[in-house]
Amino acid sequence: MAESKFPNIDDPETAPFWKGTAEGKLLVQACTKCGYLRWPPGPMCNECLSTETTWKEISPTGTLWSYAVYHRAMNPKFKDQIPYTVALVELDEGPRMYGRLVGKPAKVEPGMPVRGVFQEVEPGVMFVNWEIKA
């Protein structure tokens, strides 16, 4: 039996996101009724409660909202990479998204501008990581 991919890129709720990352695009759910953008995806809009949704490409840029340095791997696949930094990014278009902070910035603090970096973590699976804009 083949090892399953991490994460499950075939999950119907998140498959459009993973298809987008494989193409170097950042996609989030958008309410077709009121236009509210949301991440993570869900069955209904947080603003108007509509169940009508689509996926919209947005710019992979934002602001570092918060971060944490992990000294234990959240998944065994990351154990050789500790310590690593996980960022909470407020995207320029509104939603907040978690991802690894990559690179070796001299200084890291909330409010810094960041941009998305698409990185293949295993065949067919691209993560959106974040780096501090120079």
57 within 8 A of 27, measured Cβ to Cβ: yes
- Examine residue 122 and state whether it is found in any structural domain, yes or no: yes
Sign (positive or negative) of CA dihedral 133, 97, 90, 110: negative
CA distance 107 to 116: 18
CA distance 54 to 5: 25
Residue 86 has pLDDT above 90, yes or no: yes
Helix (H, G, I), strand (E, B), or coil: what is residue 113?
strand
52 and 110 assigned to the same domain = no
pTM summary value? 0.89
Q: What is the pLDDT of residues 94-134, one digit of tens each?
A: 999 999 999 988 899 999 999 999 999 888 899 999 999 97
Q: What is the pLDDT of residues 19-65, one digit of tens each?
A: 999 999 999 999 999 999 999 999 999 999 999 999 999 999 999 99
53 and 102 assigned to the same domain = no
- Give the domain range for residue 118: 60-134
Total Cβ atoms within 10 A of residue 116: 23
72 and 119 assigned to the same domain = yes
66 and 132 assigned to the same domain = yes
Q: What is the pLDDT of residue 62?
A: 98
